[in-house]
Amino acid sequence: MSTVELTAENFDQTVTDNEFVLIDFWASWCGPCRQFAPVFEKASEKHGDIAFTKVDTEAEQQLAAAFNIRSIPTLAVIRDKTLIYAQPGALPEAALEDLIRQAREVDMDEVRKAAAAQEAEQA
């Protein structure tokens, strides 16, 4: 599956329609972003069950701000409409594969329980 350009307009639909979404925040002027792009694209071809998306931080400043993007490239992982990972830095292929493996292993029931407990604590 090839990567999809993520925008403010299609963000909600993309996250709702896909259980597992990987987001690459990038910009055309960013050297490390351009180096990471083929690694991200290659992974998208291996993992057809994951929505691989890209956010051009220049064109989608509001979306980048919503994720508090301060440095690019930044990779974010959303599972079951929940952000479970967001870190800056271009990953080599092996590290990206490891991140995908770890993200698949996250117990989303535990994540939801922890989030509910945190919300209750703040209330």
Is residue 14 part of the annotated active site? The answer reads: no
118 in helix, strand or coil? helix
Q: Which one of 6, 33, 55, 75 is the catalytic residue?
A: 33
Q: Which one of 30, 39, 50, 90 is the catalytic residue?
A: 30
Distance CA 98, CA 104 (A): 10
State both tokens at 43.
Answer: 């992974």
Is residue 44 part of the annotated active site? The answer reads: no
CB-count exposure of residue 49 (10 Å: 0-12, 13-18, 19+) = exposed
Q: What order of strands is seen across the sheet that includes strand 82-88?
A: 4-5, 51-56, 20-26, 74-79, 82-88
Active site residues: 30, 33
